[in-house]
Amino acid sequence: MNSKPENTCIVIFGASGDLTQRKLMPAFYHLFANGLMPDEFAILGVSRSALDDLAFRDKILAALSSQEEDEPAKRDSFCERLHYQPLNTADVADYAELKTRLDVLCPQSATGGNTLYYLATPPSLYGIIPGCLAAHGLNVESPGWKRLVVEKPFGYSLASAESLDSEIHRHFQEHQLYRIDHYLGKETVQNLLVFRFSNGMFEPLWNRNFIDYVEITGAEFLGVEGRGGYYDGAGAVRDMLQNHLLQVLAMVAMEPPAAINADAMRDEAAKVLQSLQPLTEAHLKHNLVLGQYTASTVRGQVLRGYREENGVADDSRTETYVGLKLFIDNWRWQGTPFYVRTGKRLPTRVTEVVIHFKKTPHPVFGNTALANKLIIRIQPDEGIVISFGLKRPGAGFEAKEVTMDFRYEELGETNMLTAYERLLHDSIKGDATLFARSDAVKACWKYVQPILEYQQNPQALFGYACGTWGPKEADELLQRDERKWRFPCRNLTNTEYCEL
Ligand code: NDP
Ligand code: BG6
């Protein structure tokens, strides 16, 4: 993470939008402030809004003003590198102006022709922009490289993802593509790999012989906020399961890659996703729970139900919760259940993986046999907890469960990169390791497609009150197997006094 990337020209499509203000510009600025941007770079914002360079810089300055570092000189210096070009991205003729502007702004003498295009527009334009760039030769990798970063969602279904992929591949090759899944940019998700593959003591146990089951939770306290319009057409399966949670699952379940590079790592991730046991209607009937939040009062706050949210249809059947028991058909994981859940308006925001090891074969100490747990907390209160049995002090030999924990904050690293910072930096450097590859994205869509079809079934949706852990049917999913979900608190090691 130390070397500076090559000089680059960055073009952001969708520059007047929310993502650019809230995520991209703060991330570019932090990289700049930490000396991680190229020596020579320019960022050209593109959208239809009638702005000029100065108005665009003011807009971005306002977005940056909430940043912790109060270093006006650095901010001004960053903003001097920002430019703006009004353009209708859907109109191929407009790209002639873009080409002229780039020739002036980013002369090849300064950038060597290197250009990063970032698609942060409505997804309907993701298939159109590459063709328009190509029509003006703006995709040609000589001189310099040309890369295309594509935001989520990458498709809406298997068919639309495949069609988007072939549309983009007509003009950009796979090595030029960087599909964003910001979960892969999270430090703690990457740590799953380091934890697994740099410690000799866990990997031998990491399989069906020693692991009883695995839980993956992606819980949010927030509802759909201002994004009801988008979310109502998406739902939790497309918004969280198809991408973020399946990518986390791939990190938990993959084989050790031969090296940490884009090909080796993505080969292994894709293999896991392609080995997911196909979901049949019969399986879904017993092992899938879809829910939608209903109004409730949580910690004194009155929270409206999903159907009352702005932009959501009164009779919406979009799921805001999904719980699924799934299997991976390969040698390592055959028969080991993975229970995955995600939802909005749950009691707290927490993403974690819990590895439940098998119990000791015989409870020699009288009480029930113990099962070790490994909890890998992705956010918040990032860290790892191991639970194990210990002698309860006093007479006899009764075993008691205790824990050992590590927290990221103990490392004292103040300079951790956010997910977007890491991914933007990698895309400028040309490292695609943490970006979703075409085959993996298709495997994910192929896997969830039966759920999208199953949702047409009118019985498939259960209500749950805001601030609860989803529909009771989701608890039954595990109870049937004589198991239960862990109920995580915001604080990693707190198991007794959670938020509610
Ligand atoms: P916004 O609606 O806030 O912004 C959309 C942007 O696209 C605006 O700059 C808009 O500008 C521009 N745009 C729309 N149509 C055209 C057009 N024909 N020609 C040129 N520009 C156009 O959306 P977001 O910023 O929230 O999201 C952008 C993308 O990022 C979406 O695909 C979303 O799914 C994805 N995303 C967003 C996240 C977020 O937190 N916001 C998180 C993860 C992904 P103008 O109207 O001026 O043309
Ligand atoms: C986004 C989803 O991709 O991820 C949002 O569109 C969700 O609905 C968000 O809230 C969760 O990301 P994080 O990083 O807050 O866990």
> How far, in Å, from the CA of 122 to the mean position of ligand 1?
5
Least confident of 118-132, 374-388, 410-424, 444-458: 410-424
Q: Whose CA is nearest to atom 22 of ligand 1?
A: 47
Per-residue confidence at 69, pLDDT binned at 50, 70, 90? low
**What is the average per-residue pLDDT within 490-499?**
76
**What is the average per-residue pLDDT within 25-30?**
95
Per-residue confidence at 499, pLDDT binned at 50, 70, 90? low
pTM: 0.94
Per-residue confidence at 73, pLDDT binned at 50, 70, 90? confident
- Residue 389: is its pLDDT beyond 80? yes
> How far, in Å, from the CA of 17 to the mean position of ligand 2?
17
Q: Which atom of ligand 2 is nearest to the CA of 183?
A: 14
Residue 205 beta carbon below 6 angstroms from any ligand 1 atom: no
pLDDT in tens, 74-98: 899 999 999 999 999 989 999 999 9
**What is the average per-residue pLDDT within 432-443?**
96
Structure tokens at 206: 């990491």
Task: State percent of the chain over pLDDT 70.
Answer: 97
Least confident of 133-147, 153-167, 367-381: 367-381
Per-residue confidence at 67, pLDDT binned at 50, 70, 90? low
Residue 15 beta carbon below 6 angstroms from any ligand 1 atom: yes
Quote the CA–CA distance of 329 and 280 in Å, as a whole number.
Answer: 14
Quote the CA–CA distance of 324 and 345 in Å, as a whole number.
Answer: 18
pLDDT in tens, 128-147: 999 999 999 999 998 999 99
> How far, in Å, from the CA of 239 to the mean position of ligand 2?
8
Average pLDDT of every residue of the chain = 93
Task: State percent of the chain over pLDDT 90.
Answer: 82
Are the beta carbons of 374 and 195 closer than 8 angstroms?
no
pLDDT of residue 354: 97
**What is the average per-residue pLDDT within 333-342?**
98
**What is the average per-residue pLDDT within 111-123?**
95
pLDDT in tens, 253-302: 999 999 989 999 999 999 999 999 999 999 999 999 999 999 999 988 99
**What is the average per-residue pLDDT within 392-408?**
89
pLDDT of residue 500: 60
pLDDT in tens, 223-236: 999 899 999 999 99
Q: Whose CA is nearest to atom 48 of ligand 1?
A: 48
Residue 239 beta carbon below 6 angstroms from any ligand 2 atom: yes
User: Cβ contacts of residue 62 below 8 Å, gap of 6+?
Assistant: none
- Residue 497: is its pLDDT beyond 70? no
- Residue 68: is its pLDDT beyond 80? no
pLDDT of residue 94: 92
Per-residue confidence at 414, pLDDT binned at 50, 70, 90? low
Are the beta carbons of 186 and 377 closer than 8 angstroms?
no
User: Cβ contacts of residue 459 below 8 Å, gap of 6+?
Assistant: none
- Residue 401: is its pLDDT beyond 90? no
**What is the average per-residue pLDDT within 194-205?**
93
pLDDT in tens, 235-253: 999 999 999 999 999 999 9
Residue 352 beta carbon below 6 angstroms from any ligand 2 atom: no
Rg (C-alpha) for the chain, rounded Å, is: 24
Catalytic residue status for 244:
yes
pLDDT in tens, 317-326: 999 999 999 9
- Residue 169: is its pLDDT beyond 70? yes
Are the beta carbons of 53 and 19 closer than 8 angstroms?
no
Pocket residue to mutate for ligand 2, from 240, 306, 378, most atoms within 8 A of Cβ = 240
- Residue 411: is its pLDDT beyond 80? yes
Q: Which residue has the higher pLDDT, 391 or 483?
A: 483
Quote the CA–CA distance of 81 and 54 in Å, as a whole number.
Answer: 11
Q: Which residue has the higher pLDDT, 499 or 227?
A: 227
- Residue 489: is its pLDDT beyond 90? no
pLDDT of residue 362: 83
Pocket residue to mutate for ligand 1, from 13, 19, 129, most atoms within 8 A of Cβ = 19
Which is the catalytic residue, given 83, 171, 182, 244? 244
- Residue 369: is its pLDDT beyond 90? no
